[in-house]
Structure 1
Amino acid sequence: MVDYRYLGNSGFKVSEITYGNWVTHASQVGHDAAIATVHKALDLGITSFDTADVYANTAAEVVLGEALGGLDRAEFEIFTKVYWPVGRKGPNDQGLSRKHIFDGIHGSLQRLGVDYVDLYQAHRYDYETPLEETMQAFADVVRQGKALYIGVSEWTAEQLRDGHALSTQLGFQLVSNQPQYSALWRVIEGKVVPTSEELGISQIVWSPMAQGVLSGKYLPGRSVPEGSRATDEKSGARFIERFLRDDVLEAVQRLTPVAAQAGLTMPQLAIAWVLQNPNVAAALVGASRPEQLEDNVKASGVKLDADTLAAIDAALAPVAVTDPEETYRVSPKKRP
């Protein structure tokens, strides 16, 4: 079964392997397979589910809501997000204005078929809306019982500090940040993680397998596998491009004996690696087939020894991205 961790400086626990439906539901994966994968996640002990209104332009929330329908609401945790353009994508159908946050939470609750979400997240930082307006709207959402906790995604250290200060003044908790993080993409370690540790904010990390590259299935000098994420423009192909260089793929292949020595598959090693960071509350995993989750959940509770961690660092150090300045390039300076 899957272990649990506290989310930020709160009493709220989430499954450290959390199911995310970014590029699968209503997109890469058919309806019946999506439902079956959610049910498999529950069978394996995953109770936390991450989605967003923008995924498949709201359709991914509908699929997740259907998959969880009929279950006792206390048995699972739902995270969703607001920021990116949705629906008709008009001028107020995006960003973190008070209007869009309230339209967003009402739409998400309806699509998910629940009375509240456990965690409502700012999907990016909105430079066009005063932070005070955004945080006041989140405070009101919490007070109305429509979300229990508030989180953000891909905020910089300074943005986290400012958001935390306002949330404290307004009487609610900013408990989490959702950044990209893997053994190949370590940009949060320099500033975001130390600031988060100081403030009592956890990381819910996406792409712990670097879009599948750390699974080892992409080989240097070879064409990408047919049907893989790298071939599908709808399923994150542009995110994986940065990792498809031969020097990166050669470095990843050096992890094969490391994983074998640790008694893990390559995906398990990648997920276990991010979970060694005590500031990480959960690693987001997706799946196009239920059996993929059976492998992934075995990373829960794994403790990597010092020699294994050193071997991973040695293999990937020449190609891993560690520059904290990358965290300042994620949120658009203007709304899409």
Structure 2
Amino acid sequence: MEDLKKRKMEEMGNNDQLSTQEELRSLLDPLAKSQLVDLLSRLGSQYPSIAEEIKSIASSDPVHRKLFVRGLAWNTTSETLCAAFRMHGEIEEGAVIYDKATGKSRGYGFVTYKHMESAHSALGAPSKLIDGRMAVCNLACEGLTGASTTPDLAQRKLYIGGLSPDVTSEMLLNYFGRHGEIEEGSVAYDKDTNESRGFGFVTYKTIEAAKKAIDDPQKILWGRTIIVKLADTHKGKPVQTQVPAAAVVPLAMPMAPGYPQLGKAHPSATPAGYAYTQPVAPYQASSYSSPAAAPAPYPSQSTIPYASIAAKKDPQGIPPTTPMGMSGYPYYIGK
């Protein structure tokens, strides 16, 4: 009889526990993520057992253990990448990403640690010199929206131009390291030939260090005077845009009164009284006045009287010279 009572009591207790869990779930379900995070963080700080359970669940999720590494050299392999990050803890998986078509490195990779604490340790020192280039890591779930895309990045990232082909990324970092701590930087190399393209980029951790590098009067590296400026100013050069032909409206060139355009009727076009000296037959009067000019968009010029010129006759009745037209050009008569 007593065993039966005990079983009934246990069953009732289990039913009560199930009903309590369901009730709690129904209460927690409508809550926002920020409210749940705040609630669990307070419970975890009060009860160590809850804190341990939260850590265990978080550590089993790769989102807290997987790192995205960018800025890798073209010749960096997966083995080299893992060797650089192994100092922080045991690596579960690590690989450089290669282009499927060309088989060449795409300049980035991923490292997944076995324990969450190892990933946090690596994030404490995100910049690492690998194969002569400064690589940077952040949580893979953040992608490119990590620490390097902070609002002040435009004031910390510098463009370095005019580099000698012999300057390596390591030399570049050593040279600019005198102004402050560098977060990221490298010489730009050609993907196919792996040769320097004559420029590079350096990102400082502080705006002050970037300003020092720009204001430094001695900008000579490997015997060459180099260009140092903010990367955004180099990227934002003005580009000349072509206006589409459809948007161009043809406009007629204005002409002075007295010179009508060919193929168009200009009944109001009246000669403005321009005068040109040329051999002509004698006029009855010594001078003539131009007719009054009609109102026009251009101010009319004052009239100039023509001087009377006596025409010399050749004994045979042929003009001594070819008649000259306007501005000294001869008339041509069609055959």
Same fold (TM over 0.5): no
Larger radius of gyration, structure 1 or 2? Answer: 2
* Structure number with higher relative contact order (C-alpha < 8 Å, ≥ 6 residues apart): 1
Q: 1 or 2, which has the higher helix percentage?
A: 1
TM range (shorter): under 0.3
Answer 1 or 2: which has greater strand percent: 2
